[in-house]
A and B are shown apart, each in its own frame.
Chain A
């Protein structure tokens, strides 16, 4: 699976959009981009994933560049409860039964009042 690079930390004001970047320059054509987050002391929470097209759900939007070498997770109206560590992960589509997720260091997002 491709390696990802994320900033160590980011800040955001409550109510504003939080844009979290991820670099995955070695991604291959059949690898998905997944985003998870982990709020302190809780289990990782699935947010969104995509292959080529931009995606949106009730939690967030995922923008993937045309060359697929980077992506941005957008939380449109950040709240204090969005303070968490955000992980960008690349996974082989239709992968083996192994299905192991490799969590890097992630981005610590702090939402300020």
Chain B
């Protein structure tokens, strides 16, 4: 395994509440990614980071924000959770410097009621 943990692994929350998911790596990799996976859509990129305090939007970023204050942590926040954000969320890391391989975490299952 690539030294990636995600927390929590499972969460049930109510519509309108804020939710923060954490991705933690021990590899000191530069790039970090948040994806969501839904039936019929495969994995879709939400946000990514290319360094501390350097982040950018992916293809499905509406309703999500991210922060990266340390190399090892990448936080995904749902400011006001909606039922459409019920999904499995995966974090991934990539070394950079021409290395394209991404390594994925175990995922977080989020249910918004």
Contact = CB atoms under 8 A, between A and B. Distances in A.
Main secondary structure of the interface of B (DSSP, over half): strand
B106 A34 contact: no
A43 B107 contact: yes
Contacts of B106: 42-43
Contact of A101 (B50, B96, B102, B107): B102
Given A93-B98, A97-B31, A45 B43 contact: no
Contacts of A97: 31, 50, 96
Given A97-B50, A98-B48, A103 B42 contact: yes
Contact of B100 (A43, A95, A102, A104): A95
Contacts of A46: 101-104
Contacts of B96: 97
Contacts, number: 54
Given A34-B100, A93-B100, A105-B42, A43 B31 contact: no
**Which of B48, B50, B96, B104 counts the most A-chain CB atoms under 10 A from its CB?**
B104
Contact of A99 (B59, B90, B94, B104): B94
Contacts of A21: none
Contacts of B101: 34, 46, 49
Interface of B: 31, 33, 42-43, 45, 48, 50, 56, 58-59, 90, 92, 94, 96, 98, 100-107
27 contacts: A34-B101, A41-B107, A43-B105, A43-B106, A43-B107, A44-B43, A44-B90, A44-B92, A45-B104, A46-B101, A46-B103, A46-B104, A49-B100, A91-B100, A94-B98, A97-B50, A97-B96, A98-B48, A98-B56, A99-B31, A99-B33, A100-B45, A100-B48, A101-B43, A101-B102, A103-B42, A104-B42
Closest 3 CB pairs of A and B: A43-B104, A97-B50, A103-B42
